[in-house]
A = this chain, B = another copy of it.
């Protein structure tokens, strides 16, 4: 896959997030330290270095942060978004007004380290299932406000995106099925009410629910917390009649065993909600 062709969220949609993050850090009085100490006309070059190995994600966001404070800041990228960078290796260089770059530093890094952490966690589990057809998908368990960015980081890490929200697909869970009066009724009701571009996935806990789901024309079936053996049996029963997704606290350690069952998609919450940051530093030198 041509990693560089992965589309980042539109800049005009991300900029408000970066403005808000800068406003959150600058408060009313701004950067007391820098404004007091650093002359207005001083210039500086900063080197973004990975302190550990990982997948870079968020350089565009960091650039927006620097440019909101210095519209003429220059960024030279050594490792573009989606690249795996080694420990203690340079990622990019940013040059511009010293006050602006020192003031924007923390916000730029907070985005960059978090998103690279998500991409790195994704890459780890994607690599774990290499050789199997299963794809790694993220969930809606994302950080409030950062969903589009985190889902972009997942793509950079080699994963695919599940639903972006409650509005771009149907996922029938226990509660819905009970209310609707069974799997078949639930699927049919959804298909009758919604437009022809909406897919319907149904969550099943037991193998014996698969028949109803397939008969009603489910587009996808989510196997919830099943054992690998059960998953294998489910895959055989479905037999290509629907997409099969495995779910339930799957990690890099357990993913290969799951992938070996033949499921099409493995969804993981932790790559967005619990991935540690990728430690990236910004080292300055005057110019």
Contacts and interface: CB of A to CB of B under 8 A. Distances in A.
A272 to B, nearest CB: 10
A13 B117 CA distance: 29
A238 interface: no
Interface in A149-208: 151, 160-173, 175-176, 178-180, 186, 189-190, 192-199, 201
Contacts of A129: none
Interface residues on A, range: 35 or more
B196 A166 contact: no
Number of copies: 6
Interface stretch (A38-46, A84-92, A229-237, A253-261): A38-46
A30 interface: yes
B196 A265 contact: yes
B179 A38 contact: yes
Contact of A164 (B27, B110, B270): B27
B273 A274 contact: no
Given A28-B164, A117-B274, A20 B197 contact: no
Nearest to A270: B276
A78 interface: no
Contacts of A44: 175
Contact of A143 (B35, B99, B146, B265): B146
Contacts of A22: 10, 12
A175 B75 CA distance: 20
